[in-house]
Amino acid sequence: MTEDRNSLMRLLGRRHSCRSFAPDPVDEKTLQSLSDAFDLAPQAGGKRNLNCRFITDRIVIRDLAERGQEAFDAFCRGIQVPPIRREIEIYGENFFWFSEVPVLAVVSCRKTPTFLTEAVGQKGALIWGGELSAAMASFSLLLAAESVGLGACCMTGSLIAWREMEKVLNIPKRDTLILLIALGHKKTP
């Protein structure tokens, strides 16, 4: 028990967001172990509503980052109030840094059913629990990544261009994109 606690605390203390990766690919077996960790997390409504898939094709990852950045730039140009536009531009400076990451995990969940939002409004999403389940499962994946020495960083900033991202990623209409997780071997200085 004490051993478990100590290793958990060490793992939690060691984990930090990593944004700088070695170019080496991550092998299939390791990705499967991360997927297993994701699936082991608790999930509202049982094990039906979450999805995590890994993109390892560098061209697809680069395309996603570039098209997201273009959509974000266009969005900024459309903001009529200069100080707000400037704030958003600064806020979004690092949303699309992930073009060269070796692996991108794409986390999505089933949309909150209309009957819930109709019945209880905004809190419907909290009752449905899709986004919170995605957060829990993603943290499980982050810890699993750290446990095998991989670097990772979860990202929601890029969802500012969510329409473009969902289109490029082929997210089914019944689902919604929650976050992306950059993954790879940590770059050693």
Stretch that binds ligand FMN, among 12-20, 38-46, 48-56, 109-117 (CB under 6 A): 12-20
Minimum CB separation of residue 167 from ligand FMN in Å reads: 19
Scan residues 84-123 and list those touching ligand FMN (CB under 6 A).
94-95
Question: For residues 34 and 182, what is the distance between their CA atoms, to the nearest angstrom?
Answer: 13
Q: Is 68 in the site for ligand FMN (CB under 6 A)?
A: no
Whether residue 15 contacts residue 143, with contact meaning beta carbons closer than 8 Å, is answered with: yes
Residue 55: alpha-carbon gap to chain centroid: 12
Residue 12 binds ligand FMN, judged by CB under 6 A: no
Shortest separation between residue 56's beta carbon and ligand FMN, angstroms: 20
Contact 85, 79 (CB under 8 A): yes
163 Cα distance to chain centroid: 15
* CA dist list (Å): 160 to 95, 98, 156: 9, 15, 8
**Is residue 16 involved in binding ligand FMN (CB under 6 A)?**
yes
Q: Which residue is nearest to ligand FMN (CB)?
A: 157
Q: Does 14 bind ligand FMN (CB under 6 A)?
A: no
Closest CA to 52 of 103, 102, 131, 106: 106
Q: Which residues bind ligand FMN (CB under 6 A)?
A: 16-17, 19, 94-95, 153-157
